[in-house]
Amino acid sequence: MAKTAYLGLKIVILCLLWYITSAANNVIGKLVLQSFAYPTTITLFQFLSITIYSIPALRCIPGAKRKPIITWTYYFKLIIPLSFGKFFASLTSHISLWAVPVSYAHTVKASMPLFVVVLSRVILGEKQTTKVYISLIPIILGVFIASITELEFNIIGLVAALFSIFIFSLQNIYSKKVLKETPIHHLRLLYILAKHALIMFIPFWAYQDLPSIIYGEKNSTIDGWAIGSLLFMDGLCNFLQNVIAFTMLSLVTPLTYSVCNASKRIAVISCSILLLKNPVTMTNIFGMSLAIFGVFYYNKAKLDARNEPILPTTSNPKEAINNFQTTIKKKSSDTNLLLRYIDTNEQERYFTKPIVTAINPHPHHHYNQSSQSSNYYNGNLSNNHYHHRNVSHNHVDNVDGDHRRIDMMHI
């Protein structure tokens, strides 16, 4: 009970800090872009800040110092694409911030649930409930109303914000996947992604902004010291915001993260209107409010869908199988997508007799079968397997009688 209360308090404090740092990051970022119109340079400074500030943080935070070992295949399949995602998401986010007001940019970004639903359908084949689809209507209408009534509307800003939120949606899905499938600390993952994104970004920045800065094309309205101070504060706020966001992602479910993210947008929009004083109309505010309301309704619909029973509530195996298959068709998740391919005979075995099967991950090693079954049943086998893989840099697996070498790496 005390542990749950502590975790709840920790999440509340993290949420408040997230809102403050995110609002500060967006307001300072807009101030920088108004005086120093180089969104590419500002993006570069943020990647550089995250990379530099993460190094001492990794040494101080327990658990973050250890470098996990993963396969090269996994590295190139997920880590590198996530780095590209951070590259493009951050750049397009700054372009949208440069082209349109902060309040409008974040109203457009409130359309993230629409992208999540579409991506889940395309990538995972996941169907949603009717409530979830209905919840998208106020989001779309709200963004549409905010767009047609925005006094400083810019098509480049709109497209950049939409592209940014599309990439962020993919990033959240696959970042959570990496954090669940590997023992990597969330702060180390942030450091790796920022470092790779920085390396990828330098050539693009050198082509886009460096000639203008070197050859003195005047694109700034304030002196160098003021620009340097704003860039420093922007980089620091961005680092803190990213650390808190990745911490939240590692602590809570994607649904809870979405609710916190929606609340964060309200804080950012409100602070930007009050501090930056960008002109808004009542219709514009109505559109923003409608979009945010749609996000909360979407989260409520997802929560209701999650609470639907999935286990059979009858002792009749045949009836249980029919109920089970019907529920799977209505409610998709990673587990359900897997269970769709289990044939009826296998399902009947699962419902009528519990089966625990232990698989020896190393056929050339001899394990105590009963002990291993117990470990598997308690969820410890995968941990023991992973610990064994960490002992050696090169490991040989036996798959269907064929030996193949898997090269491992520290990250």
pLDDT in tens, 202-215: 999 998 888 887 77
pLDDT digits over 121-180, tens only? 887 677 888 898 999 999 999 999 998 888 888 899 999 999 998 998 888 778 878 888
pLDDT at 105 over 80: yes
| CA 30 to chain centroid | 23
Q: Residue 222: what pLDDT?
A: 67
pLDDT digits over 20-71, tens only? 999 999 999 998 888 888 889 899 999 999 999 999 988 888 777 777 777 8
| CA 18 to chain centroid | 15
Place of tokens 């974040």: 106
CA dihedral (270, 272, 278, 280) in degrees, to 10, reads -20
User: Domain map of the chain by residue range?
Assistant: 2-116+151-267, 317-352
DSSP state of 363: T
pLDDT digits over 364-390, tens only? 444 444 444 444 334 443 444 444 444
The string of DSSP letters for 104-118 reads HHHHHHTTHHHHHHH
Q: Residue 325: what pLDDT?
A: 55
Residues 82, 383: Cα–Cα separation, whole Å: 25
How many residues are listed for the chain in this entry? 411
Taking the complete model, does pTM exceed 0.75, yes or no? Answer: no
Q: Residue 21: what pLDDT?
A: 93
The mean pLDDT value for 347-354 works out to 44
pLDDT digits over 272-311, tens only? 888 888 888 899 899 999 999 998 888 888 888 877 654 4
The mean pLDDT value for 5-11 works out to 84
CA angle 320, 325, 330 (to 5 degrees): 125
Residue 404: phi and psi, rounded to 5, are: -135, 150
